[in-house]
Structure 1
Amino acid sequence: MDYQKISIQITPFQEWLRDVLNAQLAEIGFDSFVETETGFDAFIPATSYSEESLNEVLEDFSGDFSFEIQSEFIADQNWNKEWEKNYFKPLMIGGECLIRAPFHTEYPEAKYEIVIEPNMAFGTGNHETTASIIALILQNDLTGKTILDMGCGTGILGILASMKGARQITAIDIDKWSYEGTRENAALNNITNINAKQGDAGLLGNEKFDLIFANIHKNVLLNDMEAYNAVLNAGGTLIMSGFYTEDIKDIRTKAESLGMKDAGFVEKNNWVAHSFIKKD
């Protein structure tokens, strides 16, 4: 898939505005964001990019801020080089989980070492949502558990779950890059118990899961939460991320309407990972 990279510099820079713009751009199709010192880089499938829509988002803030915008077309075959050059550095989370690419040569030792082949699929651990769920996984014993990873991206969460003792992982993503990337990364890490599928919540059938990760946009979570709840075992946990602190009320209201109990959340730079337990 070809992507359009949009680099935005904000003057005067405000971190809250960067977060707001990321959320609003996600609503018009941008699916990956990388923070820079005075702004951010945003990525969108080239066929979905609209300069007019981008300008409409920025116009609401143009009275108090100015924006320097650079646009770059990234061809399908160039994405690995882009990440290697600019973004993907070895990353340690929780002092236990190292995430690196095959091309990294210098990195610390860790209890869990995950090798990820970078591509446009979301999930190298650098984003707050992925890092927060990884931290939660590290805190729990997953021995013998069945796992569902919705919006699996690179497959990183399922790979770590397997390393933590999970019995079987089903990984689902609507994007072809993610489906293929999850299969490749599982093989790269010698993981054999991940079943990757391309699609959405419509693929969920009679299987039951002890733990579900759903790292997707807020609107998708609200739309598909009932389907997640239907395949979650009684006493099982649903961890949702991909939304902001201001969205907690909507997410919690929906979850509780389905009979799930609030099990708390973690927040990092206004991004949230929220846990709910299905009542017995």
Structure 2
Amino acid sequence: MQYLEFKVSCSEVFREILIAELAEVGFDSFLETDEGFDAYIQENTFVRADFEEVIQRYQNQANIKVKEGKMEKVNWNEEWEKHYDPIMVDNQVYVRASFHEAKSDFPYEILINPKMSFGTGHHATTYLMISHQLEIDHTNKRVLDIGAGTGILAIMAKKLGAFSVEAFDIDEWCVDNGNENFDLNGMTAVRMGKGTIREVNPQGSFDIVLANINKNVLLDEMEVYSSLLKSNAYLLLSGFYEHDAADIEQRANGFGLKLIQTKVKENWAAMSFQKP
């Protein structure tokens, strides 16, 4: 999948605001720079009118300049090997690439070789989702990972004892990378599906549903998530900023879901809900 790259220079006080606004219109990756930030979005999801509306709204105040381009597909294994350090989550989970040494002093170890896929544990939302997972009993549970990216949350679910794990993403790169990571973690029986939740149309009900995507998609698909949950099942959501948590909670409450806990890291939030 081709990504569009926007190099944005702006006044420093507006950097976080602009990142949050662009995340609302579909941008899924950001890299802060000395001048402002770089923003990335899949070409097939980019709506220029939405992007220009955000830029125009802050143009005069933030002194915005934008340089637009395309980011060619690269071998992210090679790129990450230059900059990618292992991470630890709550002193329980050690996430590493295949070129890092293993560690035996963590209860759980996950191998992730990222390509173009999102989800290495370095991003706050992935870290927070794993932290939520560690607090929920996965033993013999049926788990669904929506927008699975690298497959890291599905892998975590399996290592926590899930009996059945299903995962899918809209991006072909994620499907390939997810399957590679499943194989690395001994999950050869699990294969990544491709499509949106309505296209994949998972059958039956689940004990735990995971969705680390973005606010707009979560709000749109919340009813589907609720319909897939068993009684007393858990829904874990992330991919949005802390200030958006109230909107997520309100939407979830509308389908009978009760907020259990909210975790926050670097202004990003992750929330756990339970279906009565």
Question: Which range, TM-score by smaller chain?
Answer: 0.7 to 0.9
What residue number does 1:119 align with?
A: 115
How many Å apart are 1:148 and its aligned residue? Answer: 0.7
**Of the candidates 90, 96, 111, which is equivalent to residue 92 of structure 2?**
96
**Of the candidates 234, 239, 254, which is equivalent to residue 237 of structure 1?**
234
How many Å apart are 1:139 and its aligned residue? Answer: 2.4
Query: What's the % identity of the aligned pairs?
Result: 39
Structure 1, unmatched stretches of 5+, are none
8 Å Cα contact 1:5/1:72 also seen in 2: yes
Moved more, 137-146 or 165-174: 137-146
Could you state the TM-score of these two structures normalised by the residue count of structure 1? 0.86
How many Å apart are 1:134 and its aligned residue? Answer: 0.7
Counting only pairs closer than 5 Å after superposition, residues 79-158 of structure 1 correspond to structure 2 as: 79-86=76-83, 88-104=84-100, 110-158=106-154
Moved more, 134-143 or 19-28: 19-28
8 Å Cα contact 1:239/1:275 also seen in 2: yes
8 Å Cα contact 1:169/1:195 also seen in 2: no
* 2:168 is the counterpart of 1:191: no
Could you state the TM-score of these two structures normalised by the residue count of structure 2? 0.87
> Which secondary structure state, in structure 1, belongs to the residue aligned with residue 16 of structure 2?
helix
What residue number does 1:165 align with?
A: 161
Structure 2, unmatched stretches of 5+, are none
Q: Distance in 2 between matches of 1:228 and 1:134?
A: 19
Counting only pairs closer than 5 Å after superposition, residues 168-247 of structure 1 correspond to structure 2 as: 168-202=164-198, 203-247=200-244
Kindly tell me the number of residue pairs found equivalent between the two proteins: 275
8 Å Cα contact 1:4/1:73 also seen in 2: yes
Q: Distance in 2 between matches of 1:275 and 1:185?
A: 25
C-alpha RMSD over aligned residues: 2.7
User: Residues 72, 117 of structure 1: CA spacing in aligned structure 2 closer, same or farther, 3 A cutoff?
Assistant: farther
* 2:243 is the counterpart of 1:255: no
Moved more, 228-237 or 255-264: 255-264
Q: Distance in 2 between matches of 1:103 and 1:79?
A: 13
How many Å apart are 1:72 and its aligned residue? Answer: 5.6
Q: Distance in 2 between matches of 1:218 and 1:67?
A: 25
Q: Distance in 1 between matches of 2:111 and 2:33?
A: 24
Letter in 2 for 1:210: D
